[in-house]
Amino acid sequence: MKNININDYRKPDYPIDDIFLKRWSPRSFSEQEVDEETLMSVLEASRWAPSASNKQPWRFIIARTEEDRKKFQSFIMDGNLAWCDKAPAYVLIISDTEVGGTHGFDTGTAWGYLALQAMQKGLITHAMGGFYKDKAREVLNIPEQYAIHAVVAIGYQDEKEKLEEKFQEREQPSDRRPLTETVMEGEFRG
């Protein structure tokens, strides 16, 4: 699946840059380490995301050593741990709630920048909501003022055959609903 033809899976309704189509969330991670320069480049891209009043509420806690990765694995749910255990790096995305009501929106934008830069660097990312937030807060000593959003596995893609069989059929880019089902003009229409 590494060299897939993205056009077999994704077709935009209107012309867009291929970067948006090529980014997807594989589960098959190689154990190959991500070097410091490459990982910091990915995190640097997120630094430049727009934010309300330039408050930049996002914070990233990273895990690259075996010891730190085991800490993260202690709060990742089994269903995700079954495929993400080989990822060489994790990022926990949190945001400072004291900056105001846009902290989650701004932090989501920073995640998007991170994901696109990772793809440009030849890496894959897979964000997970399946983890125990309270345990993450406890294990990583996260103050209450920070909202906990997602754990992201980062690394190099491996062959889908290395995944458990139940994950192999899902190891392909997903499509999106048509724009006509997302965009409403003038008022809400359900």
Q: Using 50, 70 and 90 to split pLDDT, how confident is the model at 66? A: very high
The pLDDT assigned to 2 comes to: 54
Cα–Cα distance between 19 and 29 in angstroms, integer? 20
The pLDDT assigned to 3 comes to: 62
Residue pair 57/99 in contact (Cβ under 8 Å)? The answer is yes
CATH architecture of 26-165: 3-Layer(aba) Sandwich (3.40)
The pLDDT assigned to 190 comes to: 79
Nearest to 43 by CA among 103, 118, 109: 118
End-to-end CA distance of the chain: 37
Look up residue 32 and give its amino acid: Q
Residues 110, 116, 119, CA angle at the centre, nearest 5°? 140
Residue pair 51/57 in contact (Cβ under 8 Å)? The answer is yes
User: pLDDT tens digits, residue range 104-161?
Assistant: 999 999 999 999 999 999 999 999 999 999 999 999 999 999 999 999 999 999 999 9
Nearest-10 crossing angle of helices 36-47, 103-120: 140
The pLDDT assigned to 1 comes to: 43
For the chain, domain boundaries: 26-165
Query: Residue holding tokens 């008022």?
Result: 187
The pLDDT assigned to 7 comes to: 79
Q: What is the reported pTM?
A: 0.94
Cα–Cα distance between 132 and 180 in angstroms, integer? 35
Cα–Cα distance between 24 and 100 in angstroms, integer? 30
Q: Using 50, 70 and 90 to split pLDDT, how confident is the model at 99? A: very high
Residues 14, 11, 4, CA angle at the centre, nearest 5°? 140
